[in-house]
């Protein structure tokens, strides 16, 4: 009779944003001795955020990197081991699962929690990333509050851009939507809402060529390029929101777990994927809310789901052993 290999870990978590660290905290408190592999962007998107004012419990707000530092320390306090590395390959077809690290080492685990997040798409012009958190944002619900009474712009033409633009009119004095085409891609109902909003202006057939002013460390305006004429113009403003989509960090799992048409992990019955023992939490499976607090909540769910899975596995294994011993 073949003996099933003993895994190195009961549970491994990939990703160190709010979802991954919350999953680690709950798994550690359940005595599962979790291993968390940080990934390329340690701390997730909050490491690029300045003041976070919508995280419960911090009346005066908290800096994004500070919040992630506290969450990391809390997870470690209860026994989480954090590995500063990346996973380059996974084998989810054989059990226990095998994860290959960047240095070639392998780790086997009984359960896996995927919390690799989704990366906001940038304009790739340099100045947008340099001013991230200093007037440039990829999240209206996170940062809109900071632009009360200020002129801002939103880049994009889909539903996400329209939702952001409409939402931002609650705060901004004026919202200019910049779109590279002469017609929006969003749904008709969202277009109708945007066109009917007196605080939204539109700039068509244009892209943002540059964001000013990196030397001042703040947004003072953008340089627009008309794609039909090539002409450059400058639009004074104090904030720029980029809403051209997100890319879920799921290339590692393609062909091994179910992904939707946009590459997000498909979950059901909580955080379970179509592969028993594999769970997903945070923005890697959430293209609707994309908030730190919802990511943390799903991280909690994933840890509890993983704990119950491991308990059931142990129960079935014990029952099988007992049956074999009595034969």
* Active site (catalytic) residues: 139, 142-143
> Within 10 A of 1 (CB to CB), how many other CB atoms are there?
3
φ/ψ of 178, rounded to 5, equals -105, 125
Pairing, β 206-212 against β 200-203: unpaired
Helices (H), 236-291: none
Q: Is residue 52 within 8 Å of 103, Cβ to Cβ?
A: no
Name the nearest CA neighbour of 291 among 117, 133, 172, 36.
117
> Within 10 A of 300 (CB to CB), how many other CB atoms are there?
17
Pairing, β 206-212 against β 221-226: antiparallel
Q: Is residue 234 within 8 Å of 255, Cβ to Cβ?
A: no
φ/ψ of 216, rounded to 5, equals -90, -10
φ/ψ of 130, rounded to 5, equals -65, -30
Peptide bond into 195 cis (omega under 30): no
Q: Is residue 272 within 8 Å of 305, Cβ to Cβ?
A: yes
Query: CB under 8 Å to 85, separation ≥6 — which residues?
Result: 37, 38, 101, 102, 103
Q: Is residue 244 within 8 Å of 261, Cβ to Cβ?
A: no
Q: Is residue 224 within 8 Å of 207, Cβ to Cβ?
A: yes
Listing DSSP states for 312-324 in one string gives: HHHHHHHHHHHHH
């Amino acid at each position: 009779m073949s003996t099933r290999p003993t895994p190195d870990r009961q549970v491994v978590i990939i990703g160190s944003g709010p979802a991954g660290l919350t999953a680690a905290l709950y798994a550690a408190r359940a005595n599962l001795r979790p291993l968390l592999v940080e990934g390329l962007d340690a701390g997730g998107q909050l490491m690029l955020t300045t003041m976070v004012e919508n995280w419960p419990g911090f009346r005066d707000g908290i800096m994004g990197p500070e919040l992630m530092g506290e969450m990391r320390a809390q997870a470690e306090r209860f026994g989480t081991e954090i590995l500063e590395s990346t996973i380059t390959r996974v084998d989810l077809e054989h059990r226990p699962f095998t994860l290959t690290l960047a240095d070639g080492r392998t780790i086997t685990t009984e359960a896996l929690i995927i919390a690799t997040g989704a990366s906001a798409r940038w304009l790739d012009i340099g100045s947008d990333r340099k001013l991230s958190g200093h007037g440039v944002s990829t999240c209206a619900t996170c940062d809109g509050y900071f632009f009360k009474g200020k002129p801002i712009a939103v880049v994009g033409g889909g539903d996400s851009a329209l939702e952001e633009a409409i939402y931002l009119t609650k705060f901004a004095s004026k919202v200019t939507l910049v779109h590279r085409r002469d017609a929006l891609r969003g749904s008709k109902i969202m277009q109708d809402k945007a066109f009917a909003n007196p605080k939204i202006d539109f700039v068509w057939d244009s892209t943002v060529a540059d964001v000013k002013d990196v030397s001042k460390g703040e947004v003072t305006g953008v340089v627009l390029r008309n794609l039909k004429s090539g002409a450059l113009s400058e639009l004074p403003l104090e904030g720029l929101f980029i809403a051209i989509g997100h890319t879920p960090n799921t290339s590692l799992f393609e062909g091994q777990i179910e992904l939707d048409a946009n590459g997000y992990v498909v979950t059901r019955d909580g955080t379970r994927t179509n592969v028993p023992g594999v769970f997903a939490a945070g923005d890697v499976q959430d293209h609707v809310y994309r908030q730190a607090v919802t990511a943390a909540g799903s991280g909690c769910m994933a840890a509890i789901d993983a704990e119950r899975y491991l308990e059931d596995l142990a129960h079935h294994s014990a029952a099988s052993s007992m049956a074999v011993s009595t034969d």
